[in-house]
Chains A and B, each alone.
Chain A
């Protein structure tokens, strides 16, 4: 029994080392490549530097305003939803709030234009009533609408989850003291909101800084460009790596700075603990009318663009779409990428966690082991500091220098997508892998199970659901990704979001609507399957 017990931990640590090395390589290679082309910097003109300064300011401005608006609208919505525990369709509304983040950004943009564009529903109504002229969606306005759509829903869900954690004694006390709504907010709700708000706000800010598809389509020109989009343009429009280096360095500095400042960022975005507890509250009846109003308004804002996606999608000429070979190639490419990225992400997450589990078993880990441990933990959230477009830009430079751009592009996109999914995969798998270890270690030791045998008989059955859940999330993320794929897109390499962008660009909007609906269905069915697995796993 002794030999097998020592051989397994070693291989687990080795796997962890390999995973860590691969992640390091995948991120460090492009960084080095960007540094290598940096000497060409003097080519940057004063005009261009002025432009870079303007878009840096704009990047921060739009992210700041988006965060402010998202959080300010999320607070009343979350309060209303938490207070009205028996609101009709509340569970459905809470699930609806989870949808925006699961949808590919490009698809959402299409829905938003349909509702808020100059020819959209809102403009039509406004012009019909003669209240105002058509809305101008291009520029800051459109970017803010889209970002609030994504992040108000996210923030509200996170806030509802926190508000539901308030112990029932507090409500009993509030009833005895006959608290008004204002008292409840000041003494009970606000302290809870305040404690989670910095984490939520910094998460939203980070997501808005790195937002790509929204700004690309709704920006409407240089005036409303962000660093993320400018990196893409410097490579795809100008083919000018030194410019990409400057922009990537700025973007990196912004993200790293924010990560340090907002260390408490809520990374458990999609893997949130369940919401939807029914808490009886004394202030429910009194505020019913205003809450209904707030919930209806929030719901309308979230539901309209989704409805637009479905309606215009259903009217699309699917016969034309499916008759195009490029559609089938794009679908197949997207699926292959998603499967590869998700598998890669899971393998990396498993290797890291298995190594961590092995180290945690030791009573007194050596200093080297502790350092290894913390670097493994940090590697998981690396992608939040180093945006995918920056990694992609670096690899873009490497591949074009080596002439491998055509053949290696899909591999790089898959790797970048896998890295994007890694924080979530780790989050989902950690409790299962590390937590279960303590429970099963002794059992396995007494049965003499180890290595593959243990993996097959003990670990796999327990982990299967978590694995499937992580896999579905990673695949959905990869299918909807535009940023990494956009850098490498070519006639031979088209993904579904890229095809959608092309169709929008050539103004085949009816075909675009159909592809958008299909893309949304892909992502939602993956997330739906994941949700089913999660509830099953929880009820076990």
Chain B
């Protein structure tokens, strides 16, 4: 009996322990990137065709959570690359000392702003927006102020700024517009919040399932519904105050054992092999050349009246205090 138990135990242990890594590039990212409909699987296939290596995606809820995970694991992390944080977090990520300079040419990078950061390489960008279900919301919020002060019975699902980059984006958006009055704005807005999810996927899933008529996402999200579902039912609300901008980036970890391969990947990331999969899989604007023109749907999207973006250093210096302000304001 005891021998049987020992054998069972040994077999279970063997299954429980992950297989050893060999010539494998491990990339931590947010989970929607690696889902079946996300760009992850296609990018894996197209990179593996050129590198003769294995690419492993490790999905961690949402972008801020991926950085938290890297911080927790420190130098012992098995990640070679962190992909998916945005410019709100780059300064904080650099301050950890866990990342090294990318050392690749960024001539292929094409963004509405000048890119100078030496540690991180951008791969896409977009603007946050409130997406609403036009069958349930007849008069969508006409401005950010309208969203804050609107009918508390009309619910929105948002993301937690401590784990999610759209959540952090909304925090910075409200900060950029309301400044010192951000706390009061949050107290008002929190009456409309159905729930705060840890990640974008969960929030967007609840929205499409009909749990709430509004969700915090991107101006580009309706393109997905137009291209994949041929419907314009889900629309972005344009706000005259401007929309907060997000530039998503990737960087190499100092602790990586595969730095050459990691640099190869970052260079590949700025080219069509990667960028082709961004518009219609990650549903964001590409940060480099794609082989084909973007689908027509991208021409019908809401164009932000103004691009808002706080500097990475300012965000790094204040993120904690602003999150505390948010915690206090939303529990009041």
Q: Which residues of A contact B (CB under 8 A)?
A: 45, 47-48, 50-51, 54-55, 58, 117-119, 136, 138-139, 220-223, 225, 233, 236-239, 328-329, 331-333, 335-336, 339, 400, 403, 405-406, 490-492, 502, 504-507, 509
Question: Does the CB pair B194–A136 fall under 8 Å?
Answer: yes
- Contact with B12, one of A236, A336, A502, A505 (Cβ below 8 angstroms): A336
Question: Does the CB pair B202–A507 fall under 8 Å?
Answer: yes
Question: Does the CB pair A117–B211 fall under 8 Å?
Answer: yes
Q: CB of B193 within 8 A of chain A?
A: yes
Q: List residues of chain B with CB within 8 A of the CB of A117.
A: 211
Question: Does the CB pair B196–A336 fall under 8 Å?
Answer: no
The main secondary structure of chain B at its interface with chain A is helix
The smallest C-beta distance from B71 to any residue of chain A, in angstroms, reads: 5
- Contact with B59, one of A45, A50, A58, A506 (Cβ below 8 angstroms): A506
Question: Does the CB pair A406–B193 fall under 8 Å?
Answer: no
Q: List residues of chain B with CB within 8 A of the CB of A54.
A: 328, 331-332
- Contact with A48, one of B16, B193, B194, B324 (Cβ below 8 angstroms): B324
C-alpha gap A336/B68 in the complex (Å): 28
The smallest C-beta distance from A227 to any residue of chain B, in angstroms, reads: 13
The smallest C-beta distance from A266 to any residue of chain B, in angstroms, reads: 33
Q: A333-B16, A491-B18, A505-B31 are in contact. List 8 more A-B contacts (CB 8 A).
A: A118-B211, A138-B194, A237-B65, A239-B68, A329-B16, A403-B75, A403-B76, A406-B76
Q: List residues of chain B with CB within 8 A of the CB of A136.
A: 155, 194
A-B pairs, 10 with minimum CB distance: A507-B205, A221-B196, A220-B195, A332-B15, A237-B162, A47-B324, A54-B331, A332-B16, A51-B327, A138-B195
Q: CB of B279 within 8 A of chain A?
A: no
- B1-18 interface code vs A (CB 8 A; 1 in, 0 out): 000010001001101101
The smallest C-beta distance from A289 to any residue of chain B, in angstroms, reads: 39
Q: CB of B301 within 8 A of chain A?
A: no
Question: Does the CB pair B68–A236 fall under 8 Å?
Answer: yes
Q: List residues of chain B with CB within 8 A of the CB of A329.
A: 15-16, 18
Question: Does the CB pair A221–B199 fall under 8 Å?
Answer: no
- Contact with A328, one of B15, B61, B325 (Cβ below 8 angstroms): B15
Q: Which residues of B contact A (CB under 8 A)?
A: 5, 9, 12-13, 15-16, 18, 28, 31-32, 35, 58-61, 64-65, 68-69, 71-76, 78, 155, 160, 162-163, 190, 193-199, 201-202, 204-206, 209-212, 320-321, 323-328, 330-332
Q: List residues of chain B with CB within 8 A of the CB of A233.
A: 162
Question: Does the CB pair B327–A47 fall under 8 Å?
Answer: yes
29 contacts between A and B (CB under 8 A): A47-B321, A48-B324, A51-B328, A138-B194, A221-B190, A221-B330, A223-B330, A233-B162, A237-B68, A237-B160, A239-B71, A329-B18, A332-B12, A332-B16, A336-B12, A403-B74, A405-B76, A406-B73, A406-B76, A491-B18, A505-B31, A505-B197, A505-B198, A505-B199, A505-B201, A506-B35, A506-B201, A507-B201, A509-B205
C-alpha gap A91/B49 in the complex (Å): 63
- Contact with B163, one of A45, A51, A237 (Cβ below 8 angstroms): A237
Question: Does the CB pair A405–B72 fall under 8 Å?
Answer: yes
